Structure 1
């Protein structure tokens, strides 16, 4: 039986007391910001074009967070950043709830969602940094599966259980009251996490800072940032790398923003006319489990044969299952069981195909400044989701759901051309390959 590696003497709190809660509280705001905002605006009557454009901008903090991550490392402690951001997230969710009862609520709620997005991205930086500082290599390896599991559970909660709760409230109260209550619930959860972590996160860092040393560190950090950017954009195949990052999910990025809206829109408008509660069950439970299963199987297969062997199959897996939405748009099925099965197929394919994407980001980052280059690559990854989803609502309103989902399939074609030209070591990704 595996045992947790011994803790340092200065750290008397077992990581079991804080790793599950830390990564659950990291994931929950992200899914609330990205998923709940879209569904809420849809239920409040905002058009697909408007809500897709404005909510897509909420990805921006995750695009640019590598720019301020060194300063989170430098100023104060990561423990203080975590607790402060969790409290600020609680305040932000309460702000969204309160703003729903005023005129011009769209502007006010979007302002709070911007606050939430930047706070959540900053929390990600601090939480990941704290994890690496508080644990030695053995502990990090032991708990990596635990942190991933609780982040996924946050996904099930944020885009599943919380949506189900909002849908349940809609059955008994006005939509505005239902969503106000939902965001007050989120505010309470984040404030409870902040209070819990105030007591449970070990104090592993010194609060004392030397001002001259900090000034020296700032100058050094700025120089390092310049070197990181310069060496990243000097990589031999950087144009192909960036094209791959931005285009691999071109179709999926548009579908991801519109899929829930399609489920919610009435049948006379081309949608499926589902209730909010149904959408929460479909995407937050069945969909997430299929997504995770696809990712697990993808990782196992790549470890056996290498990424080069599987990358074409994974590119097909992330795009071809989008045909289930073409079928649903044309046939408008009424069976919830059938809809759940079709979404599970698409989400399984996405999880399977996303494995290739993440592994290739690691491949791109190889060499000097590996960690920083990986962070830059993930920033471009977020941009690859933000930009297409920004215009997806306008395209859907122009084409209608039937032709929009066909367009999603067509939009996947450039990725296959890029893959045909990608440099890739044949053995990369295979177990025991360095």
Structure 2
């Protein structure tokens, strides 16, 4: 453990110790995202919504993260970030409860989607406020010391959501509840947990003196637009935006159909797994492999630099997608084989995604790197949203086997943009101490 962590007030049991709020804050940041992007897909599949509709309408839920940089100044101008964090967590908890209430209704799909839209906007706004609060409430050395903590608990939220909650829904169904009742219980549990987190943060979040509304004069508004315009004046920005939009072009389509493929019946071309099996194989084993791949990818870049590592990491991301084609061909009946295949695919995705993050950092380099990085995340979300929208329709037309064949072909635009992007020598490599 670093000296910064050892010297933190946690050791003395201080009431404002970062350990009292950093883990819970980033766990809370991860939960609504995984609910909107992953649990909604599995829930709608269990409730017999078509793949076409699932992919189209849940892909639209990326939009708040696409346009997040456009309304981020509101978080700066109106209220404190602490107030935003707590208020939005109460709002997300209420939205989760509303989803549970809509499920027994005849128009549950439209009504629950509307609530998911509200939750997505609240979650994207919460991201802005939480990240800003983290920077204000901690000293520079503490920010560095706790960055691993925040990343770990965000990942744990993903594993808990995609693994534990999917498993819980399956367990309730197997005990005799309907899918409606099972998902009502899951959403109600989430709502209660989120309201408890909101109450905890209302009590435990520190109140830094620097956490105050920014001045809303015209100079700040002009500065915002100047920063935005400066992003599009960067050298090579057209290629950079193309890279951000197309690097995950295959994965954006695969992601929306991965869990429906695992859940669909054999006569529909799927693997006929139960929710409990999907929660174990994809939500637990797969996400653990994804995390390990990300850690290894970060080490590779720090050791060899992004320029030397880029092509191996890109290939590591796209080639393992062949496991889905293989599973659609042979339909393995063993959960161990399926789990192993998903682990390979997710490990490769974790490796390749580190390269994507480093390119975002490279594009954002400059005097406004924080704001420009936020713009990059908007393009990242757009690159996932648009291909995901048509993926369900395409799978319905082609069937799973040919769809996964298309996913492999769809790597070509990603490879093209990788060939065009310019990476400085030594970028990302950790230099030895003098």
Q: What range is the shorter-chain TM-score in?
A: over 0.9
Q: Deviations over 1:278-326 (max 9, x none)?
A: 1111122101110011111111111111111111111111110000000
Alpha-carbon distance between aligned partners in 2 of 1:6 and 1:289, rounded to the nearest angstrom = 29
Q: CA deviation at 1:420?
A: 1.3
Tell me which residue corresponds to 1:408.
Answer: 407
Q: CA deviation at 1:197?
A: 0.8
The answer to whether structure 1 residue 19 and structure 2 residue 18 are counterparts is: no
Residues 249, 411 of structure 2: 8 Å contact kept:
yes
Q: TM-score, normalised by structure 2?
A: 0.96
How many pairs does the alignment contain? 427
Q: CA deviation at 1:206?
A: 7.2
Say which of 196, 203, 208 aligns to 2:200.
Answer: 196
Q: Deviations over 1:343-388 (max 9, x none)?
A: 0000000000101100011001111211111110111001111111
Q: CA deviation at 1:221?
A: 3.0
Aligned-partner SS, 2:67: helix
Alpha-carbon distance between aligned partners in 2 of 1:12 and 1:101, rounded to the nearest angstrom = 43
Question: What do you get for the CA RMSD once the two structures are aligned?
Answer: 1.7
Tell me which residue corresponds to 2:59.
Answer: 56
5+ residue gaps, structure 2, are none
The answer to whether structure 1 residue 45 and structure 2 residue 45 are counterparts is: no
Say which of 41, 59, 68 aligns to 1:65.
Answer: 68
Q: CA deviation at 1:215?
A: 3.8
Say which of 80, 96, 100 aligns to 2:99.
Answer: 96
Say which of 184, 188, 213 aligns to 2:188.
Answer: 184
Say which of 162, 165, 172 aligns to 1:162.
Answer: 165
The answer to whether structure 1 residue 114 and structure 2 residue 113 are counterparts is: no
The answer to whether structure 1 residue 28 and structure 2 residue 27 are counterparts is: no
Residue correspondence of structure 1 range 79-158 to structure 2 within 5 A: 79-158=82-161
Deviating more after overlay: 106-115 vs 68-77: 68-77
Change in Cα spacing, 1:206 to 1:296, as seen in structure 2 (3 Å) is closer
Q: CA deviation at 1:207?
A: 8.3
Deviating more after overlay: 178-187 vs 413-422: 413-422
Alpha-carbon distance between aligned partners in 2 of 1:165 and 1:409, rounded to the nearest angstrom = 33
Aligned-partner SS, 2:327: helix
Tell me which residue corresponds to 2:243.
Answer: 244
Aligned-partner SS, 1:68: helix
Tell me which residue corresponds to 2:2.
Answer: 2
Tell me which residue corresponds to 1:302.
Answer: 301
Alpha-carbon distance between aligned partners in 1 of 2:8 and 2:352, rounded to the nearest angstrom = 37
Alpha-carbon distance between aligned partners in 1 of 2:279 and 2:212, rounded to the nearest angstrom = 46
Tell me which residue corresponds to 1:356.
Answer: 355
Alpha-carbon distance between aligned partners in 1 of 2:103 and 2:189, rounded to the nearest angstrom = 14
Residues 81, 211 of structure 2: 8 Å contact kept:
no
Change in Cα spacing, 1:215 to 1:290, as seen in structure 2 (3 Å) is closer
Q: CA deviation at 1:12?
A: 5.0
Tell me which residue corresponds to 1:291.
Answer: 290
Change in Cα spacing, 1:426 to 1:215, as seen in structure 2 (3 Å) is closer
Change in Cα spacing, 1:415 to 1:433, as seen in structure 2 (3 Å) is farther
Q: CA deviation at 1:30?
A: 0.7
Q: Deviations over 1:197-242 (max 9, x none)?
A: 1111112247876xxx8441xx233212211221111112111111
Residues 272, 333 of structure 1: 8 Å contact kept:
yes
Q: CA deviation at 1:13?
A: 1.1
Alpha-carbon distance between aligned partners in 1 of 2:226 and 2:280, rounded to the nearest angstrom = 46
Q: Which runs of 4+ in 1 moved over 3 A?
A: 205-209
Residues 77, 205 of structure 1: 8 Å contact kept:
no
Alpha-carbon distance between aligned partners in 2 of 1:406 and 1:195, rounded to the nearest angstrom = 48
Residues 427, 433 of structure 1: 8 Å contact kept:
no
Aligned-partner SS, 2:426: coil
